Every structure is written in C-alpha cells, then in structure tokens.
Amino acid sequence: MEIKRDLYLNKLISKKENGLIKVITGIRRCGKSFLLFNIYHDYLISIGVNNNQIIELSLEETQNIKYRNPLELDKYIRSLITDKNKMYYVFIDEIQKVEEIQNPYIENQISKITFVDTLLGLMKIKNIDLYVTGSNSKMLSSDILTEFKDRGDEIRVNPLTYKEFCDAYGEVSSKTWKEYITYGGMPLSVIKKTHEEKSKYLKDLFTKTYITDVIERHKIKENKDSLEELLNIVSSSIGSLTNPKKISDTFKSVKQTNISPTTISQYLDYFIDAFLLSKAMRYDIKGKKYINTPLKYYFTDLGLRNARLNFRQQEENHIMENIIYNELLIRDFDVDVGVIEYNTKNEKGNGERKQLEVDFIANKGSKKYYIQSALNIDDDIKRKQETFSLTRINDSFKKIVVIKNDILPWHDEKGILYISIQDFLLKDDSIDW
C-alpha cells in the first residue's frame, strides 16, 4: 500500500532553498520522517540532485549518539560540505535529542550550547538547505516560535486526510468511509489489517508515546490518573461546548476528585502543544468579537480518540464535525465556532435574546465561509433547522451545509450550498461551487 503525501511534498518544494530552517512538526507517528527521508529525498533525486548532496542523520539511532552533542553535530555536518559550488540538503531527524551542554570556552555555568545554536550556525552557510524534524515531547510548536523566531519555517504534518486515505486504499466507498471514521488516518494504522491490530497500535500510541511524552516533558508527578481521565472526558465530548470549570465539576461529581480549573486548563494546553488536540474559540458574528468560554476541543486523529474510548462511542454527527474541522485546518484556514444572537419572544410574549451556533467560520485572507455539518436534511423541516443560524447572518460570504448523504451539489433559494461530505473532502474546490 503506497501512501502519498503530495500536500506536504509540495510545501517542502515551495520552501526549498529559501534560506530558512524547515522545521517539520506534527503529532508523533504521523509520517514526518518518511516524508523527509523517503518522499522528499526521492523528489530531490528526480530533479537531478546527487545522493552525495543529501546528508541524512537520524539522532534516534544509537550509532549516531555522538552527534547528540551540539558541537559534534556541527563539526560532522560541516565536514561533509566539501564543494562550495554545490547545494547540500541536510536532513536531521529527531533534533530534540541533541543535549544542552556547557560552553567549554566559558567558565560561566550559565553559558550553554543547544541544538538551536548549531542550527542557526549551519543556516548561515550559503550552500546548505536545512531540514529538521522533532518529536512533540520537546519540539513543540510553541518552542519553535520562541527558539527560531523568524528564522524557522514550520511545516505542520497531520495524519492522513480522507483523500489521502482513499488514495492509499485505491478506492472511495462506504467501506473506506467506515474505516476512516473508526480508525482514523495514522499511517501505520492504515497499513494494519485487523481490528485487533489497529486497536492495539492506537492504544499503545496513547499510553506508551503521547501520555508518556507529556508527563516527561512537563515533569508531572502527581495527578497522572487525572491526566488520563481528562483525555477520556474530552474524548467523550468532541463537538460539545465545554470549559475547564465544567470539566472540574465533572471530576467532583463523577470521580469524586478535586482538580482545579487552572490545572485542567494547563493539562489541556499540554495536549494541544503535543498536537493531540485542537481548540476552537467561539466568535460572535454580529458583535465581531471572541467569546472566551465555553469552547470546543477536537482530536487531531479520530482513530486515537475512538481507541481511547475502546471504540464504544461512534456518534457519526460529532465525528463528521471533527473531520470537517481538521480538513479546514489542513487547508490552512483559520477556524472558529460561530455564534449568532437574535431577539425573539417567549411563550408569554416577553422579549428575550437567544444564541444560535454556526459550526464553523473558516477564514483565509479575504475569503470567509460559514459551514454547517449535518447528517441529513431529509425534509424541509430538518433543512430549516440546520440552516436557521445561517439565514440570520446578514453578510454576503458563502454559506455551506455539508451533509453525510451522497447528494449532488445544489443551492437553495437563499444561496446556501449543500454538498456531500465526500465532495467536501475529496474535492478541494467544492466549497466554491
């Protein structure tokens, strides 16, 4: 089974020789190393780059532990740059394994040398094009912004999209959809054959990789059980509004455990930095302002989410919403949950103000889309329910309803576009129909 990652290959090609450090990030085991050492390597060869111009080093291998010293790493890479008239492409995998050391030339104990110093030095060599990957245990998105500032160029790699998933399977069918919403898009999970193999792999990723990374990185010694229970709670509530206070109350009432909203907020941020979760803020469409709480959390990979719950909770409406959210992020949209307020009257005739929700507001440059996710719109009553919030938005940006059912795209009398989830996921331009 061949898995193509053309989206990320094209991003790497567009950033080739741009003078910056290309930092490839993403949830562990999503295919970062394969993208760099196999797919991008083969591309460079195909355009005429010689193998001796591609320097590859995996710091995860014990034979390379010498180069976890930043000075030894710097010396090794420079020793391979033998021709000033050739461009060298340097790939370093698991850069976070480079240890911080004392500066041997300065007695001051405060003076340290890290991999950042090494990379910034190598970057200044004109005939080096530098690429690194880092696991999320230490090389997080927030770290990249802090350490490299404007000298790093981040490429975020995600688990397989539905389109990539179908390309790997060689078909688009009800079977591929069911497989995708159940087991997600982690590349090694796709390759495995049976439910038992997929389930074990995904569960092991959680317990032996992601949770361990978070605990070790943040030196969590207490509340380890609460950390895991928090994941269970979030897994059960994707697509639902929540906040740390509400989750804290759940711990008290259900688990008889006291854990503060501040600690819960901190733990959730750890999972976001580790690329396990994403956070969607609420935006007041009419008031044009953000609403701090409540908000929504979504999983980067639904197979991981489902494995966390032993594949018990398969609510397709929430799963579909999570998939749409991830797809919009992968297409480089900024995504919020929309809120539209309106005045109405209650049964007693008294005026009151209510809120309606728009599943997603997707922004990219001057473009904006209001998107609603619906399992079906089998009749006019259901259609009006699903579009009630959209019809109360008084601007001219595009309004879309994505439906699970296989339908031909169509517009209603108010200009709202209705498309199937298959068209939305498989055709990048579908939202502009």
Beta-carbon contacts of residue 352 (< 8 Å; ≥ 6 apart): 343, 344, 345, 346
pLDDT at 329: 97
pLDDT at 177: 96
Mean pLDDT for 298-304 is 96
The 10s digit of each residue's pLDDT in 6-65 is 999 999 999 999 999 999 989 989 999 999 999 999 999 999 999 999 999 999 899 999
Angle between helices 224-236 and 261-273 (to 10 degrees): 80
Q: Give yes or no for a contact between 113 and 71, defined as CB atoms under 8 angstroms apart.
A: yes
Torsion angle, CA of 187/193/196/198, rounded to 10 degrees?
10
What is the rounded distance in angstroms from the CA atom of residue 290 to the CA atom of residue 432?
Answer: 26
Q: Residue 221 burial by CB count (10 A; 0-12/13-18/19+): exposed, middle or buried? A: exposed
pLDDT at 142: 61
The 10s digit of each residue's pLDDT in 357-406 is 999 999 999 999 999 999 999 889 999 999 999 999 999 999 999 999 99
Mean pLDDT for 142-146 is 63
**Three-state DSSP class for 165?**
helix
Beta-bridge mates of residue 410:
418
Mean pLDDT for 265-281 is 93
In the sheet that 277-284 helps form, which strands lie side by side, from edge to edge?
289-299, 277-284, 334-345, 351-364, 367-374, 398-403, 417-420, 410-411
Question: Hey, what amino acid is at 306?
Answer: N
pLDDT at 138: 56
Q: Which fold has domain 6-156?
A: Rossmann fold (3.40.50)
The 10s digit of each residue's pLDDT in 400-431 is 999 999 999 999 999 999 999 999 999 989 99
146, two tokens:
């802090």
Give CA separation, 248 vs 159, 259, 260, 278, 417, in Å: 30, 6, 6, 19, 40
DSSP classification of residue 370: E
Location of structure tokens 């080739």? 16
Task: Single out the residue of 321, 299, 310 nearest to residue 186, CA to CA.
Answer: 299
Map out the domains of the chain as residue ranges: 6-156, 160-241+276-433
Q: Does residue 139 surpass a pLDDT of 70?
A: no
Question: Hey, what amino acid is at 324?
Answer: I
**Three-state DSSP class for 293?**
strand
Percent pLDDT > 90 in the chain is: 74
What is the rounded distance in angstroms from the CA atom of residue 184 to the CA atom of residue 169?
Answer: 13
What is the rounded distance in angstroms from the CA atom of residue 144 to the CA atom of residue 189?
Answer: 28
Task: Single out the residue of 42, 406, 26 nearest to residue 185, CA to CA.
Answer: 26
Task: Single out the residue of 319, 309, 308 nearest to residue 180, CA to CA.
Answer: 319
Q: Does residue 140 surpass a pLDDT of 60?
A: no
Mean pLDDT of the chain: 92
Percent pLDDT > 70 in the chain is: 97
Per the model's pLDDT, the better-predicted residue between 77 and 148 turns out to be 77
pLDDT classification of 273: cutoffs 50, 70, 90:
confident
C-alpha gyration radius of the chain: 24
In the sheet that 54-58 helps form, which strands lie side by side, from edge to edge?
54-58, 88-93, 128-133, 21-25, 152-156
DSSP classification of residue 342: E
Q: Does residue 292 surpass a pLDDT of 90?
A: no
pLDDT at 141: 56
- For 154, other C-beta atoms within 10 Å of its C-beta total 16
Task: Single out the residue of 152, 141, 108, 144 nearest to residue 20, CA to CA.
Answer: 152
Question: Hey, what amino acid is at 400?
Answer: I
Mean pLDDT for 329-350 is 89
